[in-house]
Amino acid sequence: MDPYRVVFMGTPDFAVPTLRAMHEHRCRVVAVVTNPDRPRGRGRQLVPSPVKQAAEQRGYDVLQPRSGKDPWLRQQLEALRPDLLVVIAYGQILPASVLAIPRLGAINVHASLLPQYRGPAPIQWAVINCDQQTGVTTMWMAEGMDTGDILLQEEVAIDRGETSGSLHGKLAEKSAGLLIETLRRLASGNLSGKPQDESRVTFAPILKKEDGRIDWSRPARCLDCLIRGVNPWPSAFTFLHGKRLKIFFAEPKESRGQEIPGVVLEGFPGDLDVATGEGVLGLKEVQLESGKRLSAEDFLRGCPVPPGTILS
């Protein structure tokens, strides 16, 4: 399908549907660049990235430089003489010297509607901020972080109850289709970039474990978005009797009156309702430190939490 010599650059499972789509559409992928194998698990055995595994299954040559600034990478790319780089969730900063190698430039696929959510965690922050829609963008790469001219975009609805994990899968598939359409239009001469509106820029900084901590003074609706946005990682949490209590799913409810935020309320058997700064949050699935992940009903059977208990 594609007349261009392409080097694909990506690392996590988010990038795999795009590589798979390029293979199915017979794009001329001359090499795949991904991060080095990482030690995982108790035995700390080296494990290849999802992109490396997908690339080797399809017979592509794989390059694993130590970083995007590795001189060896530049030498390899120069020898390959690519027309394009296709970059999706590679996880390394590419210097101008690398971006200048391909004849036509470098196309990046980003999981937001740029210029919203520039940065490494656009999927999580869209859910955390209670957005109703997000999307994917293809753009020409520039030296700044997600600053290049926009090529194509596609909107994706954030469904009620959506977690960053479920949205991740939807956006990964949309990214694959949008990249193929971008390459088609580029080959037909029907593609031009549009500068980003700098007045509309927002950022999506990398998440830390502490970002999952529940502040019970916030509204229940916002806490529900936070819980879903940090699911599966880093997970929302609070403390029960000094032990970390992870919260995987919750449901906002109407307020029952003036209650101290964080206090456990009287409820039906099996309910674990907590007062917030505005409304009530019904905890649906939790996990106490060193325990199993359980429904609130099952959790309360083994660990009763009487009304008046304070979560902190």
Q: Domain containing 44: what range?
A: 5-200
User: Are residue 184 and residue 133 in the same domain, yes or no?
Assistant: yes
Q: What is the CATH number of the domain that holds 225?
A: 3.10.25.10
pLDDT band with cut points at 50, 70 and 90 for residue 25: very high
Instruction: Find tokens 């080797």 and name the residue.
Output: 56
Among residues 200, 225, 247, the one where a domain terminates is 200
Could you tell me if residue 258 is inside a domain?
yes
Q: How does the average pLDDT of the chain come out, rounded?
A: 96
pLDDT at 256 over 80: no
User: What is the token pair recorded at 236?
Assistant: 């929302």
**pLDDT value at residue 127:** 98
Residue 257: band (very low, low, confident or very high) from pLDDT cuts 50, 70, 90: confident
Taking the CA atoms of 242, 234, 202 and 97 in sequence, report the sign of the dihedral they define. positive
Instruction: State how far the Cα of 1 lies from the Cα of 3, in Å rounded to an integer.
Output: 7
Residues 167 and 23 occupy one common structural domain: yes
Residues 35 and 52 in one domain: yes
Share of the chain above pLDDT 90, in %: 94
CB-based contacts of 69, cutoff 8 Å, min separation 6:
92, 93, 95, 98
pLDDT of residue 1: 58
Q: Tens digits of per-residue pLDDT, 83-99? A: 999 999 999 989 999 99
Asked if the structure places residue 307 within a domain, the reply is: no
Using DSSP, state whether 48 is helix, strand or coil: coil
| pLDDT bucket at 281, cuts 50 / 70 / 90 | very high
Q: Which helix (H) or strand (E) is 168 found in, with range?
A: helix 164-188
Could you tell me if residue 311 is inside a domain?
no
pLDDT at position 144 is 86
Q: Tell me, what amino acid is at 157?
A: A
Question: Is 25 a domain residue?
Answer: yes
Mean pLDDT of the region 275-289: 97
Q: Count of domains in the chain?
A: 2
Q: What is d(CA 97, CA 110) in angstroms, rounded to the nearest whole number?
A: 21
Residue 309 included in any domain: no
Q: Which CATH number does the domain housing residue 113 bear?
A: 3.40.50.170
pLDDT tens readout for residues 180-223: 999 999 999 999 999 999 999 999 999 999 999 999 999 999 99
Residue 49 has pLDDT above 90, yes or no: yes
Residue 193 neighbours by CB under 8 Å, 6+ apart: 139, 140, 148, 149, 150, 151
For residues 274 and 204, what is the distance between their CA atoms, to the nearest angstrom?
Answer: 29
> Which residue carries 């037909």 as its tokens?
188
Q: What is the mean pLDDT of residues 137-142?
A: 97
**173, 200, 227 - which closes a domain:** 200
CA dist., res. 132 & res. 284, Å (int): 22
Has residue 308 been placed in a domain? no
Q: State residue 2's pLDDT score.
A: 65
Last residue of a domain, one of 135, 165, 200: 200
The two counts, helices (H) then strands (E), for the chain are 8, 14
